[in-house]
Amino acid sequence: MADTALFLEHLRAETIKDHASSTPLYLRVQRGIEQAIDSGLVEVSDALPAERELAAQLGVSRVTVRNAVRALVKKGILIQRHGAGTFVASREAPRPQPLASFSEDMRTRGISTNSIWLNRSTGLPSPEECEALEIMPDQLVSRLYRLRFANGKPMCLEHAVLLATILPDPNVIESSLYAWLDAHDRRPTRAIQVVSAQLADASQAHLLSVPTGSACLHVRRRSYLSINKLYKLYKIRITTERALKDEPAPPVDANDKILIERDRPIEFVRAYYRGDLYEHVSELHY
Amino acid sequence: MADTALFLEHLRAETIKDHASSTPLYLRVQRGIEQAIDSGLVEVSDALPAERELAAQLGVSRVTVRNAVRALVKKGILIQRHGAGTFVASREAPRPQPLASFSEDMRTRGISTNSIWLNRSTGLPSPEECEALEIMPDQLVSRLYRLRFANGKPMCLEHAVLLATILPDPNVIESSLYAWLDAHDRRPTRAIQVVSAQLADASQAHLLSVPTGSACLHVRRRSYLSINKLYKLYKIRITTERALKDEPAPPVDANDKILIERDRPIEFVRAYYRGDLYEHVSELHY
DNA sequence: CAGTGGTCTAGACCACTTC
DNA sequence: AAGTGGTCTAGACCACTGT
């Protein structure tokens, strides 16, 4: 290690910093180690001080250190080898692809984006949408239909459908749907995509400014909100409604049902990308 | 819960079972809980006994119980809610897509597969392959080129390149490459895929039995082997060589280099799928 | 052999949920 | 107020690695 003393000093400072705040100790240690690596204080291939040593130097228990290290190992930033030590992993190695929105995806590729709205409305779902969103036919949905541009070129024809309970009014979306969802703490945590190759039909080709019969990538995506976030949103809604309408609390059963389900689909997207301009990246695990 | 006493009894039995073996205690507890859920002993929406209660009943510490539960929560089988309890998650909810081989992928879709070899050889890598596999131009690679059929129809034109150190002789592969890799403990643990839409050119179209200009899905995949497995394979190779040739151990530096890198690409695949027969599924996380 | 991470115990207090 | 999971401590022994 380049300078163990300096590393420990930084870590101690970082660990003490939010002492008054409610940030858990192991998260502060974790962030301290992460920052030390990012700032180059410890370099790739360096061994971290032993867990017992770290614990002693920071004045915390070894369990707490292990808690912090475990998260960083899962992130791929550290590598532990039984009997040998804990090492800083190489930085060049690929990291998992996060669930990014179209705009974010393009931004990371260094491409500017804009879009024009073809339709925004709220209404009843089609049978296909009912199945995709796991809802009954009388539950309202919001629709966003637009043509997206990348670096000024038409790139993608996108049709998004969301639960109206998640997005009550589609007209509030300015350019980035996910930015709005983020701001309202209801951004999907997980998505399943099905990608297939198709030939553009006449109307798609016209909108995308390509010849009919060009190759295009058809992406269908179902996005899920984690049970925890859903529950929190649900609780908030219930409380607010009760406060407003002076109604009694809902029956416990209804509550229980929601608690125990897993992630719930909140968004269903169909998109047609120009085959000459877009490639879809995905990561698989064994 | 249907029958707490029965659940605890099962769990106690499962926990004690491999007492003599070296299986860690928390893994035995974990497996016990998992089996109880799979066998229907506890049902969806049931709350598990409290962690302290479980620990007391099993005669283990609460930390050990938490260790077991944490893994099951990560797997999506259990859901924990602060202050409320630990619940069995719904089983219908979708589970993440594992990294499957073509044959496995098709089998889960209920489709039979076969293939004909177009070429199998070992040789020096092209510049593109060097970059994809992160190797020098003098390091040998094995190539597998074949036409794959699904339910008797030509489905996919696949060109796979692997490090010769991983697959020394491509002719040993009968039908499933991944089955062989599995048997030799060198199956990739992770892969990154890039999917794009293209029109089939004349030779591709001919092999796939579709008209020239049909939509096809072009998939490029880099598959990685985890650092741990790599290290174990490497160590084994070193030891064997030493035993055979009576050579001294390799210099420590070479060893160290390998230890600290992350996952390493061992396979590079280019495949062209018929757009009318294949859809690519992927999952994203936030 | 000494040093490391991996597992385990028996406590404790805090934050949150439920009633 | 009682019960739950979330965090934390101060120990202990085992299995593995390096030399």
Task: Please write the tens of the pLDDT for every residue from A59-91.
Answer: 999 999 999 999 998 888 888 888 888 888 866
Partner-chain contact B282 A279, CB within 8 Å = no
Specify the pLDDT at position A118: 96
- CA separation for the pair A110, B58 (Å, rounded): 56
Partner-chain contact B259 A87, CB within 8 Å = yes
- CA separation for the pair B136, A58 (Å, rounded): 44
* B56-72 tens-digit pLDDT: 999 999 999 999 999 99
- CA separation for the pair B234, B216 (Å, rounded): 39
Residue A192: pLDDT above 90?
A: no
Strand C neighbours with CB under 7 A?
A 22, 48-53, 62-63, 66, 80-86, 252, 259; B 24-27, 59-64, 67, 81-84
Q: What is the DSSP string of A239-254?
A: HHHHHHH-PPPPPHHH
Q: Which of A94, A227, A261 sits opposite B192 (nearest CB)?
A: A94
Q: Would you say residue B217 lies in a domain?
A: yes
Q: Are residues B51 and B107 in the same domain?
A: no
What share of chain B has pLDDT > 70, as a percent? Answer: 81
Which amino acid, one-letter code, is at A149?
F
* A239-255 tens-digit pLDDT: 545 444 444 444 444 44
Q: Are residues B153 and B202 in the same domain?
A: yes
Q: Are residues B116 and B73 in the same domain?
A: no
Band of the pLDDT at A270, cuts 50, 70, 90? Answer: very high
Q: Are residues B47 and B15 in the same domain?
A: yes
Q: Are residues B82 and B113 in the same domain?
A: no
Q: Are residues A109 and A58 in the same domain?
A: no
Specify the pLDDT at position A95: 53
**A224, containing H or E segment:** strand A215-225
> CA A176 → CA A15, A108, A163, A225, A253, distances in Å?
37, 15, 17, 18, 37
What share of chain A has pLDDT > 70, as a percent? Answer: 81
Band of the pLDDT at B111, cuts 50, 70, 90? Answer: confident
Q: Would you say residue A81 lies in a domain?
A: yes
Specify the pLDDT at position B91: 67
Partner-chain contact A197 B217, CB within 8 Å = yes
Q: Would you say residue A256 lies in a domain?
A: no
Q: Are residues B119 and B217 in the same domain?
A: yes
- CA separation for the pair B61, B202 (Å, rounded): 67
Q: Are residues A117 and A74 in the same domain?
A: no
Q: At A39, is the secondary structure helix, strand, or coil?
A: coil
Q: Which of B99, B280, B283 sits opposite A286 (nearest CB)?
A: B99
CATH of the domain at A17: 1.10.10.10
In A41-167, which ranges are E strands?
78-81, 85-88, 113-123, 141-150, 153-163
Q: Are residues B151 and B46 in the same domain?
A: no
Among candidate residues B88, B114, B134, the one where a domain is terminated:
B88
Q: Would you say residue B112 lies in a domain?
A: yes
- Structural domain boundaries enclosing A72: 4-88
Question: CB count, 10 Å around CB of B33?
Answer: 28
Specify the pLDDT at position A83: 86
> CA A174 → CA A101, A141, A177, A187, A275, distances in Å?
14, 18, 8, 16, 27
Q: Would you call A109 an interface residue with chain B, using a CB distance cutoff of 8 Å?
A: no
CATH of the domain at B187: 3.40.1410.10
Residue B40: pLDDT above 60?
A: yes
Q: Are residues B26 and B112 in the same domain?
A: no
Band of the pLDDT at B171, cuts 50, 70, 90? Answer: very high
Give chain B's domain count: 2
- CA separation for the pair A72, A126 (Å, rounded): 44
Comparing A161-175, A217-231, B142-156, the range with the smallest average pLDDT is A217-231
Q: Are residues B221 and B137 in the same domain?
A: yes
Question: CB count, 10 Å around CB of A116?
Answer: 10
Q: Which two tokens stand for residue A23?
A: 């940030």
Q: Would you say residue B169 lies in a domain?
A: yes
* B215-248 tens-digit pLDDT: 999 999 999 887 667 766 665 554 444 444 444 4
Partner-chain contact B260 A84, CB within 8 Å = no
Bridge partners (DSSP) of residue A149 are A114, A154
Band of the pLDDT at B20, cuts 50, 70, 90? Answer: low
- Between A187 and B173, name the one with better pLDDT: B173
Q: Would you say residue A235 lies in a domain?
A: no
- Category of A40 on φ-ψ map: left (φ > 0), alpha (ψ -120 to 50) or beta: left
Partners of residue A279 in chain B, C-beta under 8 Å: 194-196
Q: Are residues A167 and A27 in the same domain?
A: no
